[in-house]
Structure 1
Amino acid sequence: MSDHGYEYDYEALPENSPMFIHLAAGALAGIAEHTVMYPFDSIKTRMQVIHPSPQAMYTGVIQAMSHINSTEGLRTLWRGVNSVVLGAGPSHALYFATFEYTKDLFGGNVDNKSHPLASGLGGACATVLADAIMNPFDVIKQRMQVHGSTYKNIVECALSVFRREGMQAFYVSYPTTLMMTIPFQSIQFATYESCRKHFNPQGLYDPKTHITAGALAGAVAAAATTPLDVVRTALQTRGDSTDPRLRNARGMRDAIRLIYERKGLAGFWKGIKPRIISHVPSTALSWVTYEYFKWYISARNTDCSSTPL
């Protein structure tokens, strides 16, 4: 309820709201999502490497963090975070803007009811475009996260990868990324919209609802897509691997076969705990940031339109 005694319908921004509002909201949400829980993403990456060094054999999240702290320092867990910051802004800006447009196109804003299908389709369309931007930054990030990485900064890493492996190295995992992120985002958006409508049927701005729905959506989506994330990690780190078969992997099929031969079915679930741990708060933070920004802009527009000339 506002100070003026009326409620803001913030779920869909006013029709005259420029696209940059969605872009700005998405950029801020994306940066917040990826940076806050970055250390857990680093641990997840190390756990998923097919042939880790003996110094990087971890039995759990707590043990991994303690071992890294004692042998390399906690700052190691933040290696490559600049790549995420640079990529997350533009990719998430495009992501949320595309989602809002396509969700409305598929009828997701027709009434105040839950529309999981429209939200899922919107999330799928959004991720195709966003991942095309984010994939090279993600490759750089993971190359710097692995144990023994000697890259001093993201520029050195990017140039080294390009010189040794060419542009293909930045996109060899793109099909796998889409195979993972399309269901991830579809599950996340559908779960979020369903939970939000269930917890808050009136559709009012409520941070507790957005945090809870976002956390549940992140947990479900992260758990369901972990096997494909393992495959993606294998492809994105292949150039720095000592395994000749992995270095010559041409795509998702080769990586799947190799993971199964070396680690069995259990290998596809490596890193599931830190993956869930990182996605629950980060997804919740992403959604509450985005929803707040939508509410704030909508409230300001409503106030301005109701102010007498």
Structure 2
Amino acid sequence: MATKAIELPTAATSEKASGAGGAAAVFFIPKSVITELYTSGISVGTANTVTNPLDVIKVRLQLARNQLAAGVKPPGMIATGINVVRTEGVGALWSGLGPSLARGFFFGGARLGLYTPIKTVICGENSKPSLEMKVLSGSLSGGLAAAVTSPIELIKTRLQAAGRDPTVPKTSVGVIRAVVAADGVAGLWKGAMPGLIRSAILTAAQCATYDEVKRTVTATTGWTDGVELHLTSSMIAGLVTTTITNPIDVIKTRMFVGGKSYSGPMACAAHVLKSDGLIGFMKGWSASYARLGPHTVIMFLTAERLRKYAGLQSL
């Protein structure tokens, strides 16, 4: 990892020479980490923009069971998308894009951008980390990012789930006001725990799978870093990640939208199990993969290209 650093002066550094040889308080951020964060943020933001319509459809599918009469089968992914366009217009497919971009840059940048630095700290710069260490690194970077940015995810999800209901806020500020009025400031972190768990598992599955598959494919085929290697690895990573994270995603979505309807993640999971059975935890899997598959591919392809331009090592 590069040793260059960006020096951020704190309040104590403004008068470096004051006192008898008073030492300046300086916080060093490695330049490579800053580069990791912004290249990752741009990569995830690009993927979020392209796949936002699929994210809207996924949210609507996951909530469809609660919005229909008992015994009525909810529509599929294509029918849901057509219905959204027909009743709300094409623009509705990009509902919540603002928070999605903010979340992509800050949350996505942190969870993906911190993966390599954390892995390096845990395993050492020149070592070959095991799969377990890659999973641990992904879990730490994903969990940390989710804990900080959970309110942005809540706002995005509520905007995407709003539909044409006139009682539901249609702006980020409106959502914040409604949540704070109903649940207090702490309500902005409603669903944070399943979100944190999902993010930790998502990042671990996504990054560790991509990392491991990429090296396995390279050893098997002899491919060097290039589009075919990145595409193959990211497609497999997207499939694995979707399957692992879908149950947590269902709980997270229902808690984000349901507010005080559920006392916690376990209560929400029990409700899903009682009302829909085990299959309910896979609700919206096709829409999730339709989004997360391309999202993973776009994210890693963009990240690898940006990393090359920025002088960083390949993921």
For Structure 1 versus Structure 2, the TM-score category normalised by the shorter chain is 0.7 to 0.9
Letter of the 1:48 counterpart: Q
Q: Which runs of 5+ in 1 are unaligned?
A: 1-12, 240-246, 300-309
Instruction: Work out whether 1:267 is the aligned partner of 2:280.
Output: yes
Contact persistence 2:242–2:292 (CA under 8 A): yes
Letter of the 1:228 counterpart: I
Taking the TM superposition and a 5 Å limit, the aligned residue runs for 1:70-219 are: 70-107=86-123, 109-110=125-126, 115-146=130-161, 147-149=163-165, 150-201=168-219, 204-219=224-239
User: Are residues 18 and 220 of structure 1, via their aligned partners in 2, closer, same or farther at CA, if it must alter by over 3 Å?
Assistant: closer
Give the superposition deviation at 1:181: 2.3
User: Are residues 14 and 92 of structure 1, via their aligned partners in 2, closer, same or farther at CA, if it must alter by over 3 Å?
Assistant: same
Letter of the 1:236 counterpart: F
Q: Distance in 2 between matches of 1:70 and 1:152?
A: 18
Of 53, 59, 75 in structure 2, the residue corresponding to residue 39 of structure 1 is: 53
Q: Distance in 2 between matches of 1:275 and 1:19?
A: 30
Deviates more, 1:229-238 or 1:195-204: 195-204
Q: Distance in 2 between matches of 1:169 and 1:53?
A: 26
User: Are residues 75 and 57 of structure 1, via their aligned partners in 2, closer, same or farther at CA, if it must alter by over 3 Å?
Assistant: farther
Give the superposition deviation at 1:197: 0.8
Q: Distance in 2 between matches of 1:15 and 1:289?
A: 25
Q: Distance in 1 between matches of 2:164 and 2:243?
A: 28
Give the superposition deviation at 1:214: 1.4
Q: Which runs of 5+ in 2 are unaligned?
A: 5-30
Give the superposition deviation at 1:26: 1.3
Contact persistence 2:218–2:229 (CA under 8 A): yes
Give the superposition deviation at 1:252: 0.5
Give the superposition deviation at 1:104: 0.9
Is the partner of 1:95 in helix, strand or coil? Answer: helix
Contact persistence 1:215–1:279 (CA under 8 A): no
TM-score, structure 2 normalization: 0.81
Give the superposition deviation at 1:108: 6.9
Deviates more, 1:274-283 or 1:101-110: 101-110
Is the partner of 2:123 in helix, strand or coil? Answer: coil
Contact persistence 1:249–1:255 (CA under 8 A): yes
Matched pairs, number = 279
Contact persistence 2:239–2:293 (CA under 8 A): yes
Q: Distance in 2 between matches of 1:275 and 1:110?
A: 36
Contact persistence 2:37–2:114 (CA under 8 A): no
Q: Distance in 2 between matches of 1:97 and 1:279?
A: 18
Q: Distance in 2 between matches of 1:136 and 1:255?
A: 19
User: Are residues 251 and 288 of structure 1, via their aligned partners in 2, closer, same or farther at CA, if it must alter by over 3 Å?
Assistant: same
User: Are residues 96 and 179 of structure 1, via their aligned partners in 2, closer, same or farther at CA, if it must alter by over 3 Å?
Assistant: closer
Deviates more, 1:80-89 or 1:150-159: 150-159
Give the superposition deviation at 1:212: 2.0
Letter of the 1:205 counterpart: D
Match of 1:305 in 2: none
Match of 1:248 in 2: 261
Contact persistence 2:33–2:114 (CA under 8 A): no
Deviation readout 1:225-269 (Å, 9 max, x if unpaired): 211111111100013xxxxxxx43111011011112222222111
Q: Distance in 2 between matches of 1:232 and 1:148?
A: 22
Is the partner of 2:114 in helix, strand or coil? Answer: helix
Contact persistence 1:188–1:221 (CA under 8 A): yes
Letter of the 2:113 counterpart: A
Percent identical residues:
22
User: Are residues 38 and 58 of structure 1, via their aligned partners in 2, closer, same or farther at CA, if it must alter by over 3 Å?
Assistant: farther
Contact persistence 1:96–1:126 (CA under 8 A): yes
Contact persistence 2:114–2:141 (CA under 8 A): yes
Match of 1:224 in 2: 244
Of 24, 36, 41 in structure 2, the residue corresponding to residue 22 of structure 1 is: 36
Give the superposition deviation at 1:178: 2.3
Which gives a bigger RCO, structure 1 or 2 (Cα 8 Å, sep 6+)? 1
TM-score, structure 1 normalization: 0.82
Q: Aligned Cα RMSD in Å?
A: 2.4
Give the superposition deviation at 1:192: 0.4
Of 302, 305, 309 in structure 2, the residue corresponding to residue 289 of structure 1 is: 302
